[in-house]
Each structure stands twice: as C-alpha cells, then as structure tokens.
A = this chain, B = another copy of it.
C-alpha cells in the first residue's frame, strides 16, 4: 500500500497535539513558591492544557484543612503536624518573612496589584479541572492522614507522578 503526504502529516502531528499536558511538583510549602506554582497551573489550564499538581513534603501543607479532625498519631507525627502550617493562609515566605509580617505585606501587595489571592488561585485551579495528587510516601513520613487534607485530592506515589510526567511536555519541580 502506498500512502499520501497528507496521511503522513496527520501521523506526525498527532503526538504534538497530545503532549499539551503540564505537571508541577509542589515540594516547597513557601507561600511565594506555591503562588508561582498556582499561577502557572491556572495559566496552563486557561490555555486548555491538562495540568497535574503533585504535592509532596512541605507542599502537602497547602492542602491541609485549617480545622482538621484529630486522627490518632504518634508523638513525632503530632510534632510535625503542629509545627507545619495548615493550609494556604498560614504559609511563610522564603525571603523577607520577618516572623510572619512578610506574608501579610505580600498579600496586601497582591490585593493592591489586583492579583488573585493564593486561596482564589487554588479554587480557580480546581474549577478549571487541575488534578491534585498528594504524595502518599510524604504523608506516611509526616503522619498526615487523608482526612486532614481538603476534599477532591487523589493519593498516589512517585510512580504515578512519573506516569503523568511521561504524558506531559512541561514538567516543573517547584
């Protein structure tokens, strides 16, 4: 069977079309880095890209409920739980934190510049269908239980992340 040039073009273009997926590993729990992650996730989703965010280590704190239930934990897990921020309102800055004044000023500067707050960006990402995956290994180590995280989060490990990354054309570690 001989084929036409048009048929070849179709075959060639198919991978490019499928590759418009993005993954972001949210490792850091610092407000500024988390903001960058969600600005990128929202921008990509607005361009109709599929987006998967994989929350691991300190990044898990973004997904923590402000007033979670109290699951059974070891003493060490309780310590980690208490020392880490619960949810986007409590994150600190990587620079100029000044014992908590930095985030307050950053939030005001964002309002002044008419930029969405982190919570708004998170809500917008979810509305746009961005997939949130919580890293189960980090949860085990830090003693974070599924019921302490906000609803609508999937639970998976590094292999699942790699599966998503293999389908994506942009993969960032933040």
Binding site for B on A (CB under 8 A): 1-5, 7-9, 11-12, 15-16, 20, 22, 25, 27-29, 32-33, 35-36, 39-40, 42-44, 46-47, 49, 56-58, 74, 76-77, 79-80, 83-84, 94-96, 105-106, 108-110, 112-115, 137, 140-143, 157-159, 161-162, 165-166, 169-174
Contact = CB atoms under 8 A, between A and B. Distances in A.
Contacts of A22: 162
Kindly report how many copies of this chain are found in the complex they form together.
3
B39 A137 contact: yes
Given A76-B105, A143-B109, A158-B39, A166 B46 contact: no
SS class of chain A's interface: helix, strand, loop or mixed?
A: helix
A166 to B, nearest CB: 7
B169 A172 contact: no
B157 A29 contact: no
A93 B108 CA distance: 27
Contact of A43 (B16, B74, B157): B157
Contact of A137 (B76, B106, B115, B157): B115
Contact of A12 (B15, B57, B84, B173): B15
